[in-house]
Copies of this chain bind each other. A is one copy, B any other.
Amino acid sequence: MKGGLVSESGTVLLSERRHTPRSEGPEAVVSAIRDFIGHLATSGDGAPAGVGLAVPGLVSEDTAIYAANLGWRDVPAKDFTGLDAPIMLGHDVRTGGLAENVLGAGRGVADFLFLPIGTGIAGAMIVNGEPYGGTSGWGGEIGHIPVFPDGEQCACGQFGCLETYASAASVGRRYSLRAGLEDVRAEQVVTSDDPVAIEIWDEAVEALSLALATYTLLLDPSMIVLGGGLAEAGPALFDPVRTRLVKRLAFRAAPPLLPAALGVDAGMLGAALLGWRAAGRPELGAGWEVEVRSAPLVS
Segment 217-245 of A: residues with Cβ below 8 Å from B: 217-222
- Encode A123-134 as 1/0 by CB contact (under 8 A) with B: 101011000111
Q: When the two chains form their complex, are residues A251 and B156 in contact, meaning their CB atoms are under 8 A apart?
A: yes
- Chain B's closest residue to A213 (CB) is B146
Q: What is the count of identical protomers in the complex?
A: 2
Checking B125, B127, B214, B250 against A214 with a beta-carbon cut-off of 8 angstroms, the contacting residue is: B214
- Chain B's closest residue to A220 (CB) is B134
Q: Which interface residue of A135, A136, A144, A157 has the most chain B CB atoms within 10 A?
A: A135
Q: When the two chains form their complex, are residues B222 and A136 in contact, meaning their CB atoms are under 8 A apart?
A: yes
Residues of B within 8 Å of A221, CB to CB, are: 134-135
The smallest beta-carbon distance between A136 and chain B, in angstroms, is 6
Q: When the two chains form their complex, are residues B218 and A145 in contact, meaning their CB atoms are under 8 A apart?
A: yes
Segment 75-93 of A: residues with Cβ below 8 Å from B: none
- Chain B's closest residue to A137 (CB) is B220
Residues of B within 8 Å of A219, CB to CB, are: 125, 134, 139, 218
Q: With contacts A157-B251, A251-B157 known, is A218 near B136, CB below 8 A?
A: no
Q: When the two chains form their complex, are residues A140 and B250 in contact, meaning their CB atoms are under 8 A apart?
A: no
Is A294 an interface residue when CB atoms closer than 8 A count as contact? no
The smallest beta-carbon distance between A132 and chain B, in angstroms, is 7
The smallest beta-carbon distance between A142 and chain B, in angstroms, is 6
Q: With contacts A145-B214, A149-B147, A214-B146 known, is A220 near B252, CB below 8 A?
A: no
Is A288 an interface residue when CB atoms closer than 8 A count as contact? no
Q: When the two chains form their complex, are residues B217 and A144 in contact, meaning their CB atoms are under 8 A apart?
A: yes
- Chain B's closest residue to A222 (CB) is B135
Checking B148, B157, B218 against A141 with a beta-carbon cut-off of 8 angstroms, the contacting residue is: B218
Residues of B within 8 Å of A111, CB to CB, are: 134-135
Is A186 an interface residue when CB atoms closer than 8 A count as contact? no
The smallest beta-carbon distance between A141 and chain B, in angstroms, is 4
Q: With contacts A222-B136, A251-B157 known, is A145 near B110, CB below 8 A?
A: no
Question: Contacts A110-B135, A149-B206, A158-B249 given; 17 further ones with Cβ under 8 A?
Answer: A111-B134, A111-B135, A112-B135, A128-B128, A128-B132, A138-B252, A141-B217, A141-B218, A144-B251, A146-B214, A146-B248, A149-B210, A156-B251, A157-B251, A158-B250, A218-B218, A218-B219
What is A's interface to B at a CB cutoff of 8 Å?
Answer: 110-112, 123, 125, 127-128, 132-142, 144-149, 154, 156-158, 206, 210, 213-215, 217-222, 248-252
Closest 9 pairs (CB-CB, A-B): A134-B220, A157-B250, A139-B220, A135-B222, A111-B135, A141-B217, A145-B214, A138-B220, A158-B250
Interface pairs (14), CB distance under 8 Å:
A111-B134, A125-B219, A135-B221, A135-B222, A139-B218, A139-B220, A144-B217, A144-B251, A146-B248, A154-B250, A156-B251, A158-B250, A158-B251, A218-B218
